[in-house]
Structure 1
């Protein structure tokens, strides 16, 4: 099957941000805003398409690695190796749980399943050691490690029928799929879905559409692509930036594909010819997404450590 190319002219800037490492875009159907982070800039950001308003909050950590929406309207933020709850407006974040300790790692990509559990992974800060792991975090803050040997966790996504979990290790250049048991929160039968170990292409963040297509951003590859559930690519969108990082569907009809991007690793010359590097991009009408699931936070919160 030949992939259907989508014109680069359909790609526009939603927010002319200057993200060092923009990541983890999520559409909130309550606030009708797009939320995303700048990992290295330690920024949590929102964009309201109806008004054009762009708001930014800064946090005191080394890396703001990921985010998730919650059932009570707050956000979970991954700060270094811990999760914290961003309450409302300018209130300081409240510690939720520690996911990992003792390694030169940080939290990276994550996604919430239909039962309100957060699946999130760690990555090696040096980008080459298999120090990372995938974890499942429950509503009461219980952390379960599922497997290790990961260099850079990315591309966590669930198929619309809740029977498949996708997982990418960007620095192993591969995406895998697992059978997923929604009721028990168990994954099994790991197998390769996309293998770029020969070309060294870097699949990064991912999301799914209503038809089960897996959309993936290729860091250092200047494109996003859609995989059919059988692993064949049927759509490719070239981008005006080298480093797209992650993507999600948003807008009131969930038909706008938002793409975060990065200025990181680009020299002055490259930045000069890529004025949209670090911007939040938007592509309208290429597919329809699904609402994001929310972490079912226990109202009492996790039990603090002794």
Structure 2
């Protein structure tokens, strides 16, 4: 079936954040805020749609790779190759566990499953070597390596029925699915879901909606794509930036699609014609999302 292009949906600037590499947007249903990061700027940020307030906290390290909400209300931050627990603005994050060491890598995309485990991957800092891997992290700090041969981990998401794990390697230009056992926390039966290796397109961050559609942002592609569970594309939304990076549903009804973007890799000419590059974008009413799972310490 031919995908439907949706130019009628208005793409708004939610926050003019001018991120170098905005990423990992998550809607918190407790604070009713949208949380996201600037990886290269090492910034942890929040936006309150009710008041318009934008709060920014800077952190140490070379990269702030991703984040997760937690059951106790703190945040889990991926700082370089370690996970840290941020409790408040008044105290620096406390190290929780080291995920990997000894390689020129950093932590990148991650997502929490319905049992409170974090699935997170690493990526090559040079963007071409298969140094990365996917890991499962439990609340007691146990880290399990699941597979390697990854260049850039991205697009980790779970189907609404908790039977499928989606995983993308942006620099291999491919998204895979796995059968997921929620009780055991295991994956098997890896298979190709969407392959862009011939065109070199770069699927990046992802999320799912209530109907099981997988939404993916295309870095350097200027668009968002919705896949049905069978892999067919039914929606394409053009965005006014070259580098959308990740997306999530938020707002009190989970019907606002928030999109992080990047200024990274854009030259002055491109930045001049893309005033929304690096900003947090919002698109209303395109679909409805699901509440984000929370990491469970213990």
Q: Normalization by structure 1: what TM-score?
A: 0.97
Q: Match of 1:159? A: 159
Q: CA deviation at 1:9?
A: 5.3
RMSD, aligned α-carbons: 0.6
Q: CA deviation at 1:90?
A: 2.5
Q: CA deviation at 1:52?
A: 0.2
Q: Match of 1:179? A: 179
Whether contact under 8 Å (1:8, 1:240) holds in the other structure is no
Aligned residues: 298
After superposition, the C-alpha distances for 1:140-197 in whole angstroms (9 at most, x for unaligned) are 1100000000000000000000000000000000000000000000000000000000
Where 1:225 maps in the other structure, the secondary structure is strand
Q: CA deviation at 1:43?
A: 0.1
After TM superposition, the structure 1 = structure 2 runs for residues 5-16 of structure 1, keeping only pairs within 5 Å, are 5-7=5-7, 10-16=10-16
After superposition, the C-alpha distances for 1:52-90 in whole angstroms (9 at most, x for unaligned) are 000000001100000000000000000000000001122
Whether contact under 8 Å (1:8, 1:239) holds in the other structure is no
> Is residue 255 of structure 2 the alignment partner of residue 270 of structure 1?
no
Give the Cα separation in 1 of the matches to 2:181 and 2:31: 31
Q: CA deviation at 1:8?
A: 6.2
Whether contact under 8 Å (1:8, 1:238) holds in the other structure is no
Give the Cα separation in 1 of the matches to 2:151 and 2:90: 34
Q: Match of 1:226? A: 226
> Is residue 48 of structure 2 the alignment partner of residue 48 of structure 1?
yes
Whether contact under 8 Å (2:9, 2:283) holds in the other structure is no
After superposition, the C-alpha distances for 1:192-218 in whole angstroms (9 at most, x for unaligned) are 000000000100000000000000000
Q: Normalization by structure 2: what TM-score?
A: 0.99
Give the Cα separation in 1 of the matches to 2:90 and 2:241: 33
Where 2:139 maps in the other structure, the secondary structure is coil
After TM superposition, the structure 1 = structure 2 runs for residues 199-278 of structure 1, keeping only pairs within 5 Å, are 199-278=199-278
Q: Match of 2:294? A: 294
Q: Match of 1:92? A: 92
Give the Cα separation in 1 of the matches to 2:226 and 2:9: 18
Any unmatched runs of 5+ in structure 1?
Answer: 299-306
Q: Match of 1:27? A: 27
Give the Cα separation in 1 of the matches to 2:245 and 2:272: 20
Whether contact under 8 Å (2:20, 2:264) holds in the other structure is yes
Give the Cα separation in 1 of the matches to 2:216 and 2:258: 12
Give the Cα separation in 1 of the matches to 2:168 and 2:9: 29
Give the Cα separation in 2 of the matches to 1:255 and 1:3: 21
Where 1:271 maps in the other structure, the secondary structure is helix
Where 1:51 maps in the other structure, the secondary structure is coil
Where 1:276 maps in the other structure, the secondary structure is coil
Give the Cα separation in 1 of the matches to 2:102 and 2:116: 28
